[in-house]
C-alpha cells in the first residue's frame, strides 16, 4: 500500500507549492527593488501610494469625528472622540459591505454607504474614511478608486472619486451642513490608530499590516525618499503589497488567479489572504486528487474556506471532514500545514523588507513595530506561531533585526479619526 502522506511533500514540490521553495532572501531583494521603483514613480507592481497623513502631530480633544471603516466583509460607521489624547468610540453601527453579497452599481454602492453614514451627520461635520481597497490619495484628502479586491463587486466604480461621490449622495439625502472628508487606506488607518492608542516608540520604525480578507502593508516614510513627489513631507506610504508580482508562485496559485474576479492582478494577496487561502488549498487538493494522493471527492470540490480548514485541523466534523476518507485526512492536513507555513514565510519576508528599507529594528529595545489587523492574522490556528518562528529564524537569526507585532482596539476607526483631525 502506498504511503500517501510520505509522498505529499514531494508532490507539493512538483507543483511548486512547497514552503521550502519560498526563498526569503530573493523575495526581500525583489520587494525592495519594487519599493524603490514605486517611490520614484517608475513602473512597479508596488504602487507606493502617498497617504498625505503622518504619524506626527496630536489630535484635538473633544471633537467628534465620523469614522468609516469600509472593509472586505463589513462596513463600520462610528462616532469617535479623543479624550486626553485617547480615542473613544462613542457609537458604532455595522452592516454588510455593499457589493460583498452580489454585484451592485457604483451609484448604489455610494447610496448604500450614505444611508449608513447619514444618521451620524447630526453629531459631526468631519469624516475620516478608511477605504480598504486600492485608491490613489490626493493632497486634498479625497481619493480615486483604482480597483476593488477581496471579491467585492461594484460595476463602474473604477476611477470614481470616493469622498466627492459620498458627499454628493449625502447632500441628495438631505444633509445641509458642509462636511470635510479625509480618505486613507486601512493599513494607514491601522498604523495611525495603533501608534496613537499604544504610544509606540517611533525610533525603531513603524509599519501597518492587514491580513484578513485581503492583505497589505504600509509604513512611515521620510519625505525625501518619496522621489515622485517634490518637497514631500514625512508621511505614511501605502505599498499595496497585495499586488506584488515577483513572489515565487506555483500551479495552485495560477489556478486561484485564473478563477478570480481580476486575473493577473493582486497575485500576492491571492497566495495568503483569508478570502483566497482556502482556495489555494482547494486547488492543491484538486491536483493531489489527480495524482492519486486524495480520493475522487477532491477532484472538483466547492472551494474550501480558511475557517473551515482551521476547524478541520481542530478535529471538528464539518464539510471538509465529510469529504475525507481516513487516508485523505493525513494528506489534507499536510497540504493545509504547508499552505500556512508558506503564508507565514511570505508575511515575514514582507515586513522584514519594510524593516530593512527603514533601517529599523536594530535592537530589541527599539524594535520595528508592526500594527497588525485582520481575521486571518489573529484567528488562524497555525499562522501566528509559524510567523513568530520565522521572525526568530530569519529576521533575527539571518538579518539581526527585531520585529514585534502590536494590536490596538479599534485601530482603523481611531486612525481614521486621527487623520480627520490632523491632516
For the stretch 338-388, pLDDT in tens is 999 999 999 999 999 999 999 999 999 999 999 998 899 999 999 999 999
Given a contact cutoff of 8 angstroms between Cβ atoms, the answer to whether 179 and 167 are in contact is yes
Cα 279 from Cα 9, distance rounded (Å): 19
What Rg, from alpha-carbon coordinates, does the chain have? 22
Model pLDDT, residue 185? 87
List of residues 6+ apart from 259 with CB closer than 8 A: 279
Q: What averages of pLDDT result for each successive group of 10 residues across the chain (423 residues)? A: 76 98 98 98 96 88 95 87 93 87 85 94 95 88 85 81 95 95 91 87 89 93 96 94 97 97 94 95 98 96 95 95 94 97 98 98 95 93 96 98 93 93 87
CA distances from 248 to 23, 89, 112, 266, 398 (A): 8, 42, 40, 14, 20
Residue in 140, 147, 133 with CA at minimum distance from that of residue 167: 140
Cα 413 from Cα 78, distance rounded (Å): 7
For the stretch 206-237, pLDDT in tens is 999 999 988 999 999 999 999 999 999 999 99
Cα 337 from Cα 333, distance rounded (Å): 6
For the stretch 177-204, pLDDT in tens is 999 999 998 889 999 998 888 888 778 8
Q: Is 41 left (phi over 0), alpha (psi -120 to 50) or beta?
A: left
Within the chain, how many helices (H) and strands (E) appear? 14, 15
**Proportion of the chain in helix, strand, coil states, percent, rounded to 5:** 45, 20, 35
Model pLDDT, residue 150? 65
Model pLDDT, residue 1? 36
Model pLDDT, residue 99? 76
Amino acid at each position: 500500500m502506498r504511503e500517501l502522506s510520505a509522498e505529499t511533500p514531494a508532490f507539493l514540490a512538483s507543483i511548486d507549492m512547497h514552503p521550502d521553495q519560498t526563498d526569503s532572501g530573493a523575495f526581500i531583494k525583489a520587494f525592495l527593488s519594487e519599493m524603490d521603483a514605486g517611490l520614484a514613480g517608475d513602473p512597479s507592481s508596488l504602487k507606493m501610494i502617498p497617504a498625505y497623513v503622518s504619524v506626527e502631530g496630536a489630535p484635538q480633544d473633544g471633537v467628534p469625528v465620523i469614522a468609516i471603516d469600509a472593509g472586505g466583509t463589513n462596513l463600520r460607521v462610528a462616532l469617535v472622540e479623543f479624550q486626553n489624547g485617547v480615542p473613544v468610540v462613542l457609537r458604532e453601527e455595522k452592516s454588510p459591505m455593499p457589493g460583498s453579497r452580489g454585484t451592485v452599481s457604483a451609484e448604489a454602492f455610494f447610496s448604500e454607504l450614505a444611508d449608513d453614514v447619514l444618521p451620524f451627520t447630526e453629531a459631526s461635520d468631519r469624516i475620516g474614511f478608511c477605504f480598504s481597497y486600492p485608491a490613489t490619495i490626493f493632497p486634498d484628502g479625497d481619493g480615486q478608486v483604482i480597483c476593488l479586491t477581496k471579491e467585492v463587486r461594484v460595476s463602474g466604480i473604477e476611477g470614481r472619486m470616493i469622498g466627492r461621490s459620498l458627499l454628493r449622495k449625502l447632500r441628495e439625502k438631505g444633509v445641509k451642513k458642509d462636511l470635510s472628508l479625509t480618505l486613507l487606506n486601512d493599513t494607514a488607518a491601522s498604523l495611525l490608530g495603533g501608534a496613537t492608542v499604544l504610544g509606540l516608540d517611533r525610533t525603531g520604525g513603524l509599519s501597518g499590516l492587514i491580513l484578513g480578507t485581503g492583505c497589505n502593508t504600509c509604513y512611515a516614510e521620510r519625505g525625501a525618499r518619496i522621489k515622485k513627489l517634490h518637497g514631500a513631507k514625512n508621511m505614511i506610504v501605502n505599498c499595496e503589497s497585495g499586488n506584488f508580482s515577483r513572489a515565487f508562485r506555483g500551479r495552485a496559485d495560477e489556478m486561484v488567479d485564473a478563477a478570480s474576479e481580476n486575473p493577473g492582478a493582486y497575485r500576492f494577496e491571492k497566495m495568503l489572504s483569508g478570502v483566497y487561502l482556502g482556495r489555494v488549498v482547494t486547488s492543491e487538493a484538486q491536483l493531489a486528487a489527480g495524482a492519486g494522493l486524495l480520493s475522487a471527492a477532491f477532484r472538483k470540490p466547492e472551494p474550501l474556506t480558511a475557517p473551515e480548514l482551521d476547524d478541520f485541523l481542530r478535529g471538528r466534523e464539518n464539510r471538509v471532514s465529510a469529504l475525507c476518507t481516513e487516508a485523505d485526512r493525513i494528506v489534507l492536513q499536510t497540504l493545509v500545514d504547508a499552505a500556512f507555513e508558506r503564508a507565514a514565510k511570505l508575511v515575514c519576508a514582507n515586513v522584514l523588507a519594510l524593516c530593512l528599507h527603514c533601517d529599523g529594528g536594530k535592537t530589541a529595545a527599539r524594535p520595528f513595530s508592526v500594527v497588525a489587523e485582520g481575521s486571518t492574522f489573529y484567528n488562524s490556528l497555525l499562522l501566528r506561531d509559524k510567523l513568530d518562528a520565522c521572525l526568530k529564524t530569519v529576521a533575527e537569526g539571518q538579518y539581526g533585526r527585531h520585529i514585534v507585532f502590536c494590536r490596538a482596539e479599534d485601530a482603523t476607526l481611531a486612525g481614521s479619526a486621527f487623520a480627520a483631525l490632523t491632516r
